[in-house]
Amino acid sequence: MHQSPPRSTNELLGYPADARLLIINADDFGMCHATNAAILRTLTEGLVGSTTLMVPCAWASDALHLLAENPAIPFGVHLTAIGDGPRYRWRPLSCRDRLPSLVDETGHFYTSDHMSAFLADVRLDELEVEFRAQIEMVLAAGLRPTHLDWHSLRIHRRPEIFDVMFKLARAYGLALRVRERPLIERVQRLGLPCNDYDFLDSYGLGSVGKIERYSQLLRDLPPGLSEWAVHPGLADAELLAIEPDGAAVRQADLDSMVAAQIREVIQQEGIILLSYQPLQALWQAG
C-alpha cells in the first residue's frame, strides 16, 4: 500500500508552502541575573518569541518569578546535564546518589570539556530521572511550558539521549526542539511539526557585526520553519566573571534582538515570527 508523504510543517501549522516562518528562542533563562534581565527585555521589547529555562541554575527561581509575572511569555525547559566551565557550576535537582553517571566527585555536573567521556558513560535512566525532576519543578511552580530543548549536549554523538527527550516530550504534552537531520526527518515522518532546517546557534556567529549578519540571514531565510537559538545577556561584571569568553556574544545578541534594523528587515521580507505554542498544540494532539 502506498504511503502518502508526511504533511509539511507549514501545512500542519496552517501556512502556505512559501511562507517563511521563524522561531527565535532565547536559551539560558535562569543562568544568572545578566541573562534574565537581557532575555526578559528581548521578550517584552524585542523580537524573541520564546525562551527556555535552566532549572538547576542559581537564578532559576528569579526566572520562575518573572514568568509568573508575565504569563503571556511562552517558555520551555532547557534540560541541563552538563556545565559550561569551571567558574560557575550546577548540581542536579535529584539526589546525587541516584545519578552517579551525571556528576563528578564534587556532586556537580561535568563540564563541557568532559563531553566525550560524559556521552560515553552517562546512563539513560539516570538522565531521565534528572530531566523529569527539572520538568516537574516547573510544573510545581504552577507554570506550563510549551517545549523542551537542551543545554550544550552533543546528542548527535549519542542519539539515544534524543529518544529520552522525545519520550518526555510526549509524556508531558510538549513540543521538542530538533536540531539537525536525520532527526528532523524522523520527527516529520511521525506527522509532528518541527523546524525544516538545521537550527542556528548564535554562538556560531560570534559577536562582531552581528546585526548585519542577522539581517542577511533573514533576507536569505528559506520557505518553511527555521529556528534560531539566541543567547542574550548583559556583558556586566557578573557575566564577565562567569563567562569571560562568551559575554560579548551574549551582549551582541541582546543588541541585535532589540535592534530596529532587524525588525525592519523582518517586516520587509514578510517573515512570520512564531513561538512554540502552535507546535505544542499539534504535539499534544498528535
Do the Cβ atoms of 75 and 50 come closer than 8 Å? yes
- pLDDT tens digits for 26-55? 999 999 999 999 999 999 999 999 999 999
Report whether pLDDT(3) > 90. no
The rounded percent of the chain whose pLDDT value lies above 70 is: 98
Tell me what the mean pLDDT of segment 144-154 comes to.
95
- pLDDT tens digits for 64-76? 999 999 999 999 9
Query: Cα(147)–Cα(150) distance, rounded to whole angstroms?
Result: 10
Query: Cα(47)–Cα(145) distance, rounded to whole angstroms?
Result: 19
Query: Cα(146)–Cα(150) distance, rounded to whole angstroms?
Result: 14
Tell me what the mean pLDDT of segment 227-252 comes to.
97
Per the model's pLDDT, the better-predicted residue between 4 and 64 turns out to be 64
Query: Cα(99)–Cα(179) distance, rounded to whole angstroms?
Result: 26
- pLDDT tens digits for 78-92? 999 999 888 899 999
| Confidence band of 157 (pLDDT split at 50, 70, 90) | confident
* Domain boundaries defined on the chain: 9-285
The hierarchical CATH code for the domain 9-285 is 3.20.20.370
Question: What's the CA dihedral at 241, 246, 250, 253 to 10 degrees?
Answer: 160
> What's the burial of 74, exposed, middle or buried (CB within 10 Å: 0-12/13-18/19+)?
buried
| Confidence band of 212 (pLDDT split at 50, 70, 90) | very high
